[in-house]
Amino acid sequence: MRLITALIFSLLAISFQPQQPAVNVEELMEKSLKAIREIKGLKYHLKITERGKKGFNNYESSVKFIRNPRQIYLYIKGIEVLWVQGTNSGKALVKPNSFPYFNLNLDPMGDLMRQDQHHTLNEMGYDYFASIIQHTIDKMGPRFNDVFRYAGEERINNRPCHKIIIDNKDFKYVPYTIGDNENITSIARKFFIPEYLILERNPSFKDYFDILKKGQVINIPNWYCRYVVMYVDQLYLVPISIKVVDDRGLFEEYNYHSLQVNPEFAPGEFKRDFKGYGF
């Protein structure tokens, strides 16, 4: 009898515990986009996985970023990159860790800096990713909840996060006729799609810099991707892990570690002669 009574009271206690309020994923995405707009600067360690021509490429870099005026410092296994808006004729100052062993001034959009990578210095920070999300939200309109789904809370990269699923079942490739003065990058920006998927899907293209002819028909994706798993940091409300999948499987993945939002930067931290830099 005592056992039965104890079980009843236990069940009653559980049933009367306050329930956690459901997270409204649309409101969460709005807050995240607002948090991104309010970012002035960032520091983080970024781990990257991107599908390339010969399999998956993995990179790691330490990043310092100021939004306005735009300033970027990267450290990648002995390679240092410094780019400051309005200086050096728009080029990045690069200190390589191998031959030719002297500083280079390189176009951030050029072949030497880009090679087999999905993105450039122009996409550093969160603004580019936020534009993709905002475009998806705008395009879905009343079908938002058919694509965006809240999937609970998890601890990722040692941070408590909200898990968001973006499940875009309408993803496919469609024909596109090239217009005047278009290139792979301008088409990608026009439709908020990855340049790399255009390059990958059209085998006649050798790299991002191929000349496109007006009237030429190519295949492009109708969305950025098929599926996204995104973890939004509960404190900062910005993504700290983004996994992107297309019709072939994993396309790219980005993980932010040791993230600092709006940190204090030391005077001269975006100058070549800053203490500790090797330029």
All residues at 6 or more sequence positions from 195 whose CB lies less than 8 Å from its CB, including other chains: 118, 184, 185, 188, 208
Q: Which residue has the higher pLDDT, 23 or 133?
A: 133
Report if residue 185 sits inside a domain. Answer: no
Query: Does 25 reside within a domain?
Result: no
- Please check the confidence at residue 20 and state whether its pLDDT lies above 80: no
Pick from 111-115, 145-149, 153-157, 221-225: least confident: 111-115
Number of domains in the chain: 1
* Cα gap 81→146, rounded to integer Å: 41
User: Does the structure show a pLDDT above 80 at 122?
Assistant: yes
What is the rounded average pLDDT for all residues in the chain? Answer: 92
* pLDDT at 13 exceeding the cut of 50: no
Q: Is 214:160 a contact under the CB 8 Å cutoff?
A: no
What pLDDT band is residue 188 in, cutting at 50, 70 and 90? very high
Determine, yes or no, domain membership for 255: yes
For residue 268, tell me if it sits in a domain: no
In a domain, 199, yes or no: no
Q: What is the pTM of this model?
A: 0.89
Side-chain half-sphere exposure of 242, counting CA atoms within 13 A: 17
User: Domain of 66: which CATH number?
Assistant: 2.50.20.20
Assigned domain for 203 exists: no
The domain in which residue 96 lies consists of: 31-171+223-261
Quick one: pLDDT band at residue 274, thresholds 50, 70, 90? very high
pLDDT of residue 111: 87
Token pair in block for residue 184: 């792979």
Distance CA 85, CA 170 (A): 38
CA 199, CA 242: separation in Å to the nearest integer? 22
Single out the residue of 70, 74, 77 nearest to residue 126, CA to CA. 70
**Residue appearing with tokens 């898990």:** 163
In a domain, 123, yes or no: yes
Q: What is the pLDDT of residues 218-247, one digit of tens each?
A: 999 999 999 999 999 999 999 999 999 999
* Percent with pLDDT over 70 in the chain: 92
Backbone angles phi, psi at 117, to 5 degrees: -85, 150
Predicted confidence at residue 8, as pLDDT, reads 42
- 189 found inside a domain: no
Q: What is the pLDDT of residue 99?
A: 83
Q: Which residue carries 């475009």 as its tokens?
A: 135
Q: Residue 207's pLDDT band (boundaries 50, 70, 90)?
A: confident
Tell which residue, 204, 209, 202, 207, has the closest CA to residue 183: 209
CA 145 to CA 137: how far, in whole Å?
A: 10
Q: Say yes or no to pLDDT of 254 above 60.
A: yes
